[in-house]
């Protein structure tokens, strides 16, 4: 036996592989990918054929999301709001209030989820104005897009 082999065997004899750091890294990666993943709203919905009641579709008990998108279509020095409710772009705050009043008048309209989705450049005052309209019309389930 050479003098070089003996220390090497001693090192291998006492060396142990610690799996703790590797397990920590695996869990951190798992958490990172779970938190970082964004699910599209369309993927969350399940398409289904609903039964008809007396020849008419029975839809009043199905909650329907009402999307309100608030954008800035102007410039940084001259901001101009653009509000779209369920994909319909509206001009002026009276049109926004009238459209929300229309949805509030439909059966179950006040209890259906309302999702407010302002973009990064939308002014806080615009969002607050839409929230005031929703409060005045007594909508119950108001959410923000995450």
Q: Which CATH architecture has domain 63-144?
A: 2-Layer Sandwich (3.30)
Close Cβ partners of 83 (under 8 Å, ≥ 6 residues apart): 68, 69, 70, 71, 89, 90, 96, 126, 130
- Tell me the per-residue pLDDT of 7-29, one tens digit each, with 9 for 90 and over: 556 666 666 778 888 899 999 99
- Tell me the per-residue pLDDT of 118-127, one tens digit each, with 9 for 90 and over: 988 888 899 9
Rounded to the nearest integer, the mean pLDDT of the chain is 79
Say if residue 137 is exposed, middle or buried (CB neighbours under 10 Å; 0-12, 13-18, 19+).
Answer: middle
Domain residue limits, the chain: 63-144
CA distances from 16 to 10, 26, 67 (A): 12, 20, 57
């Amino acid at each position: 036996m050479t003098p070089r082999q003996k220390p090497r065997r001693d090192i291998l004899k006492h060396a142990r592989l610690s799996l703790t750091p590797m397990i920590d890294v695996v869990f951190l990666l798992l958490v990172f990918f779970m938190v970082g993943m964004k699910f599209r709203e369309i993927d969350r919905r399940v398409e289904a054929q609903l039964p008809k009641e007396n020849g008419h579709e029975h839809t009043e008990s199905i909650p329907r999301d009402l999307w309100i998108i608030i954008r800035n279509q102007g410039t940084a020095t001259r901001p101009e709001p653009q509000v779209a409710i369920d994909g319909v772009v509206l001009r002026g705050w009276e049109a926004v209030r009238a459209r929300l009043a229309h949805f509030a008048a439909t059966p179950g309209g006040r209890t259906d989820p309302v999702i407010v989705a302002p973009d990064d450049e939308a002014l806080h005052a615009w969002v607050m104005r839409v929230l005031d309209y929703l409060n005045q019309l007594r909508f119950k389930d108001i959410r923000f897009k995450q």
